[in-house]
């Protein structure tokens, strides 16, 4: 398969389970990959470490990607994470800032770095990773839910701003992803009901493909059997 042959696909959070699955999907479909994470990644692709909460680092690394591979055609914002928190009235500045930085500022910083490149070429696809929890609040998940809600709202706003400029922006909303970390944290769960990283990667691949050209601002639930 070569649906992304020659296209430059930039994946953040590429060292994680979903990042690895997305990398495998796009590589199998002919993409030229740029992989970012806070930890070093080994392999045949262009890789860099980057703190995505640092806007200057994001701008610098995207400039490196463009210089090495060419303009970014697809941005997949996977970097993020989950943590239970305190009750809303007990939420610490550290909890709030950590989750907003990890889940929301990372998307904003990459958008500010990559969208100008896409506007120059007049084309692009952006796929953000939100969460089902971003659609509603839950006890001790106020900061997390808020941070993922920001991802959905940014996706919708960007789609409205960019859809007439040749750029599609959409997001997926996973429930629980079947990762080693989640299995360790929830050993009594029924893993068969969870979404596998490979299945989620295929959904991301669809939204990044030419077949998704008419889709703008979607927040697509990918919840498996949960």
Q: 26 CB contacts (<8 Å, ≥6 apart)?
A: 4, 9, 11, 33, 74, 205, 208
Gyration radius of the chain's alpha carbons: 17
Please, what sign has the CA dihedral across residues 214, 159, 73, 131? negative
C-alpha span between 125 and 172 (Å, rounded): 13
C-alpha span between 47 and 44 (Å, rounded): 9
CA end-to-end span of the chain, whole Å? 31
Annotated active-site residue 144? The verdict is yes
State the DSSP H helix or E strand holding residue 49, giving kind and residue range, or none if neither: strand 46-49
C-alpha span between 174 and 180 (Å, rounded): 16
C-alpha span between 26 and 104 (Å, rounded): 24
Q: Single out the catalytic residue among 32, 144, 170, 201.
A: 144
Q: Give the helix, strand, coil percentages of the chain, each rounded to 5.
A: 50, 15, 35
User: Known catalytic residues?
Assistant: 144
């Amino acid at each position: 398969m070569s649906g992304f042959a020659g296209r430059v696909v930039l994946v953040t959070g590429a060292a994680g389970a979903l990042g690895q699955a997305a990398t495998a999907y796009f590589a199998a479909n002919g993409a030229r990959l740029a992989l970012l994470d806070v930890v070093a990644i080994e392999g045949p692709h262009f890789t860099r470490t980057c703190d995505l909460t640092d806007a200057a680092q994001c701008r610098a690394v995207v400039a490196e990607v463009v210089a090495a591979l060419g303009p970014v055609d697809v941005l997949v914002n996977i970097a993020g994470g989950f943590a239970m928190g305190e009750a809303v009235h007990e939420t610490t500045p550290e909890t709030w800032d950590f989750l907003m930085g990890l889940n929301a500022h990372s998307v904003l910083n990459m958008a500010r770095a990559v969208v100008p490149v896409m506007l120059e070429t007049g084309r692009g696809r952006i796929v953000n990773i939100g969460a089902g929890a971003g659609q509603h609040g839950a006890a001790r998940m106020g900061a997390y839910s808020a941070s993922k809600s920001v991802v959905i709202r940014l996706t919708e706003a960007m789609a409205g701003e960019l859809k007439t400029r040749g750029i599609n922006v959409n997001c997926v909303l996973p429930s629980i992803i079947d990762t080693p970390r989640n299995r360790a944290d929830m050993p009594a769960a029924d893993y068969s009901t969870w979404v596998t990283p490979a299945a989620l990667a295929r959904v991301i691949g669809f939204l990044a493909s030419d077949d998704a050209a008419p889709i703008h601002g979607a927040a697509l639930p990918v919840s498996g059997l949960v």
